[in-house]
Amino acid sequence: MEMLIALVIGVLTAGGVFLALRGQTFPVVLGLTLMSYAVNLFLFVMGRLAIGVPPVISDAAAGYTDPLPQALVLTAIVISFGMTAFVIVLALKARAELGNDHVDGRHHNEDRHA
């Protein structure tokens, strides 16, 4: 199972990095979203994998998993949403101001001449 989770994190990271390197804004936003999934998962599994032992105190519980990474990741998820929203609105603003959706603020076919 650990191998599978590691693989999932790897695939998410690879996809995120590839998209973040694209030239238009929308794929970059998608890439950042994928990367935040990867990072959140990575942080979460630092508490190791455990099934059926949520960190909710009760007499019937068989045990508890580590609550600390969960608390960290919970706010990270909300903050990533704030970041995604900010970046996408920045992209809209850039498109309105510059007339294109390239991350460098110029048309992609100008790329090589610049």
Within 48-107, the residues that bind other proteins by CB under 8 A are 48-58, 64-68, 70-71, 73-75, 77-86, 88-93, 95-96, 101, 103-104
Q: How far is the CB of 88 from other proteins (least distance, A)?
A: 4
Q: Which residues inside 4-23 make contact with other proteins, applying CB under 8 A?
A: 4-15, 17-23
Token pair, residue 6, equals: 């590691």
Question: From the CB of 67, what's the least distance to other proteins, in Å?
Answer: 4
5 and 48 Cβ atoms separated by less than 8 Å: no
- How far, rounded to the nearest angstrom, does the alpha carbon of residue 38 sit from its chain's CA centroid? 6
Kindly state the greatest CA–CA separation across the chain.
69
Q: What separation in angstroms does the CA of 2 have from each of 14, 99, 108?
A: 18, 46, 41
> Mapping DSSP to helix (H, G, I), strand (E, B) and coil, where does residue 72 land?
helix
Q: Interaction with other proteins in 24-53: which residues (CB under 8 A)? A: 24-27, 29-30, 33-34, 37-38, 40-42, 44-53
In the complex, the smallest distance separating the C-beta of residue 19 from other proteins, rounded to whole angstroms, is: 6
Q: Judged by CB under 8 A, how many residues of this single chain contact other proteins? A: 86
Beta bridge partners of 24: 102
From the CB of 112, what's the least distance to other proteins, in Å? 8
